[in-house]
Amino acid sequence: MPANKHSLIEDVQAIVIATLLASLGITLFKTTGLLIGGTAGLSFLGQYATNFSFGEIFFMINLPFYILSYKQLGWRFTFKTFIAVLLLSVFVEFTPSFLTVSFLHPLYSAVVGGFLVGFGLLMLFRHGASLGGLMILAQFLSNKYKISIGKFQMSVDFVVLLLAFFIVDWRSIVLSIIGATACNLTLVVNHKPGRYSGK
């Protein structure tokens, strides 16, 4: 087996752990009214502006991106990403049923939540998966053009957080920027373009 390939058991374990980490990070953001970038950030905005839950919007908003994923990154990447998105959607909905926090400082939530999501994403990338949406585009650009996933995601996050000015207050925006920076720094430092393939 090539050094960069993983067994089925390794992939299953990684996807479950990664989505659990990411769902915990997103729960911290939700608890303190913060946002995160990318497709998850768009789902947060949708949740704050509509009656749909984060999990429902996150799952639906990812559907169109699977076409790009299948054509450009292969069916394995697409299937594993679909499973990861499904698990995250479910975990985010049910995590509050298992976790009650009496006090959570927003700054702690931003930093730790950002790191949790970042490490979850990193683990998924290393096992040929993602959390869908703009992450699919980021993975495609990384594989084909060696564009840093972290830098691309940081640019996307900037746009999402700009849109957030119309929905949440400026303090939440500032803290959300800190959280997005923590998440993306994890990717910039630890994920090297071209090292992992989605095929």
**30: in domain:** yes
pLDDT per residue as tens digits for the range 73-101: 899 999 999 999 999 999 999 998 898 88
pLDDT score of 162 more than 70? yes
In a domain, 139, yes or no: yes
| Mean pLDDT of all residues in 23-49 | 86
Span 40-54, average pLDDT = 82
| More confident site: 86 or 48 | 86
Instruction: Report the SS3 class of residue 188.
Output: helix
Residue 197, in any domain of the structure: no
What residues make up the domain containing 91? 8-97+105-190
How far from 159 is each of 9, 97, 154, 162, 179, CA to CA, in Å?
37, 32, 9, 5, 15
Cα atoms in the 13 Å half-sphere on the side-chain side of 182: 23
Instruction: For residue range 108-143, list pLDDT tens digits in order.
Output: 999 999 999 999 999 998 898 988 888 788 878 887
Total structural domains within the chain: 1
> What pLDDT, on a 0 to 100 scale, did the predictor assign at position 167?
75
Q: Is the pLDDT of residue 3 over 70?
A: no
**Distance of alpha carbon 21 from alpha carbon 28, whole angstroms:** 11
Burial of 178 (0-12, 13-18, 19+ CB in 10 A): middle
Lowest-confidence segment of 3-17, 33-47, 79-93 by average pLDDT: 33-47
Average pLDDT rounded to a whole number, residues 168-182: 88
Indicate whether 186 pLDDT > 80: yes
- CB-based contacts of 121, cutoff 8 Å, min separation 6: 18, 22, 130, 131, 135, 183, 186, 187
In a domain, 119, yes or no: yes
Tokens of 1: 């087996």
Indicate whether 152 belongs to any domain. Answer: yes
Residue ranges of E strands in 70-197: none
Q: Is 196 part of any domain?
A: no
In a domain, 199, yes or no: no
Confidence at residue 193, expressed as pLDDT on a 0 to 100 scale: 57
Q: Looking at the domain assignment, is residue 54 inside a domain?
A: yes
pLDDT at 105 over 80: yes
